[in-house]
Amino acid sequence: MARRARVGQVSTAIMIHLFNGFQNPFGGSELETLELHRLLSADSQVRLWATSSRVSDELTRHFPIRRISPLTRNVPDGGTYVFLGAHWRNKAWPYLIPRPRRLIYVFNTFHPKVIALTTRMPRMLGWPDAELVLISDFQRRMLQVDGVVHPSPIDIDRFTPRLARRDGPFTVGRLSRDTPDKHHADDVALYEALLADGVAVRIQGGMPLKDRLAPHPQLELLPQGQFAAEQFLPTLDVFYYRTGSHVETFGRVVFEAMACGLPVVCHSHGGYADHIRHGENGFLFETTQQAALILAELKADPALRATVGHKARQTVEQLFSPQALRQRLDFYLR
């Protein structure tokens, strides 16, 4: 695994504890926590803690995740506590562990209730005020809350810009978890139209569409996690993305596709949209008709796909450059 961001010397002065539910190996907050653990470990001692009793066996097999247990004294021992997609309210164990020096909450959803749970500190607990980290400017605008903005960290060195394929049909696809709210109802008709036009459609995380799309020789619906993102994404010519009731606060999979040098065609409502310059490093659409026209243009113009894909890769290289990562990591190491 690449270590581009390991630009400091390990210090024993700072102990950082990262808390997450660790329930889903493909969840955005889980991936964000594990990548932050990798990056921070270059400069500090870092420990991973599961806040949920339903922690994934797969994740605990591959990563040094600890379960909090005051009875066995397996607990964080002070330092900096960072909660990502998890909170400490309404739990007994925070009262039974050492007080943190700093308390940081990485807020990666749109649920105001969670902000209330993490910023209103119980008087008896005696912890410091929580410092809020948001993962996109879009999220900050939507919630109208104050906090530092750190894009969800991604190891872009895992993703190699794809070479133009000379064989096989033009392929449009996407990647997500296998949950219905990740899919927009109008996309079924779009996929059917693409298939009728000779386009191959490849969707990982497509099990919710199994009963809604008729079998077709050029349609592949794969379960979540069948292939790693860096293996699946380069099989596409274009990455297409629109969700249903779920709104992406950041949309790390969009940036992973851009890291592969893919032109991305995405609905304009999401955290990723602030980083996409329409027609330059990707495409944004409002309606299904607009999406269909963009996809038709990309199908007909391989040079356009290559140019936009190249700009997409440059965008993520700037967003996750060593300098940019260093600045974000220093926030946690203060």
Q: Could you tell me the CATH number of the domain that includes residue 239?
A: 3.40.50.2000
Domain of residue 238, residue span: 161-318
Q: How far apart are alpha carbons 313 and 248 in whole angstroms?
A: 20
Phi then psi dihedrals of residue 300, to 5 deg: -80, -10
Give pLDDT tens digits for 75-122. 999 999 999 988 777 788 899 999 999 999 998 887 766 677 666 777
How far apart CA 118 and CA 19 sit, in angstroms, is: 13
Identify whether 331 is part of a domain.
no
- Residue 11, pLDDT score: 46
Tell whether 250 and 212 lie within a shared domain.
yes
Contact by Cβ (8 Å): 149, 108: no
User: Residue 85 class from Cβ within 10 Å (0-12 exposed, 13-18 middle, 19+ buried)?
Assistant: buried
One domain, residues 240 and 107: no
* Dist. CA 210–CA 293, nearest whole Å: 25
Residues 145 and 42 in one domain: yes
Give the closest residue to 16 by CA, choosing from 86, 94, 93, 101: 101
Backbone region of residue 205 per phi and psi (left: phi > 0; alpha: psi in -120 to 50; beta: other values): left
The rounded distance, in Å, linking the Cα atoms of 119 and 143 is 14
Q: Is residue 269 part of a domain?
A: yes
**Prediction pTM value:** 0.89
Structure tokens at 48: 């991973």
What is the Cα–Cα distance from 239 to 216, expressed in whole angstroms? Answer: 20
For residue 7, the model assigns a pLDDT of 45
Examine residue 1 and state whether it is found in any structural domain, yes or no: no
Instruction: Give the model's pLDDT for residue 85.
Output: 85
Domains of the chain: total: 2
The answer to whether residues 176 and 285 belong to one domain is: yes
Residues of the chain with pLDDT under 50: 1-12
Output the pLDDT for position 112.
Answer: 66
Question: 142 and 167: one domain?
Answer: no
Contacts of 279 (CB under 8 A, 6+ apart): 308
Q: 118 and 170: one domain? A: no
Indicate whether 2 belongs to any domain. no
Residue 9: its pLDDT value, please?
Answer: 45
Supply the pLDDT for residue 173: 98
Is residue 7, in this structure, part of any structural domain at all?
no
Is residue 3 situated within a structural domain? no
Residue 8 has what pLDDT?
A: 44
Residue 329 located in a structural domain: no
Domain boundary among 122, 153, 184: 153
**What pLDDT is recorded for position 13?**
63
- For residue 28, the model assigns a pLDDT of 86
How far is 93 from 71, CA to CA, in rounded Å? 10
Q: Is residue 63 assigned to a domain? A: yes
Dist. CA 265–CA 304, nearest whole Å: 13
